């Protein structure tokens, strides 16, 4: 079998490309030992990705731990608020009872004031009557003790 005649295009040959295109393509491809630019190898790319993933994982872990901590704090706050709510409800019940007692005491105080006022009026009347009796008795005693004009 005869071998087919394959021709490789050469620089500047009639392939539709110009010398400027050839120069651009050569400048884009740098040899692996180039020192005038940044060479990214699979190893350095893998290392960079590993470091980036480690940083992202660490940040996510920190955020996750803070979220858990906030959740625990929220549970403690809710429990504390529930305890305070129960205590406030108990205090509210006690205050309501005290208010009822105070209302009863105020009513009793009004009744007592009225009784004291009535008693004062009775005492004044009695004292007025006793004073009148004492004056009458004093007049009688003076009338007995005073000798008349014939006794001298």
Per-domain boundaries in the chain: 41-143
| CA torsion through residues 139, 140, 142, 146, sign | positive
pLDDT exceeding 70 applies to what percent of the chain?
Answer: 72
The DSSP string of 4-49 is P------TTSSSS--HHHHHHHHHHS--TT--SS----HHHHHHHH
Decide if pLDDT at 25 tops 80.
no
Tens-digit pLDDT profile for residues 112-144? 999 999 999 999 999 999 999 999 999 999 988
Q: Given this model, what pLDDT does residue 33 score?
A: 53
Place of tokens 């205090």: 91
In three-state form (DSSP H/G/I as H, E/B as E, the rest C), the secondary structure along 91-106 is HHHHHHHHHHHHHHHH
**pLDDT given for residue 100 in this prediction:** 96
Q: What pLDDT score was predicted for residue 39?
A: 77
């Amino acid at each position: 079998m005869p071998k087919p005649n394959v021709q490789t295009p050469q620089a500047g040959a009639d392939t539709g490309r110009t010398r400027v295109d050839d120069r651009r393509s050569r400048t884009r491809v740098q040899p692996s030992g180039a020192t005038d630019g940044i060479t990214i190898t699979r190893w350095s790319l893998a290392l960079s990705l590993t470091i980036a993933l480690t940083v992202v994982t660490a940040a996510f872990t920190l955020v996750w731990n803070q979220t858990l901590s906030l959740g625990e704090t929220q549970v403690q706050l809710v429990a504390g608020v529930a305890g305070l709510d129960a205590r406030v409800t108990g205090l509210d019940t006690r205050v309501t009872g005290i208010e009822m007692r105070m209302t009863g005491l105020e009513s009793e105080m009004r009744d007592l004031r009225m009784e004291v006022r009535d008693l004062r009026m009775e005492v004044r009347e009695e004292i007025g009557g006793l004073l009148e009796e004492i004056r009458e008795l004093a007049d009688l005693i003076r009338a007995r003790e005073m000798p008349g004009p014939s006794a001298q």
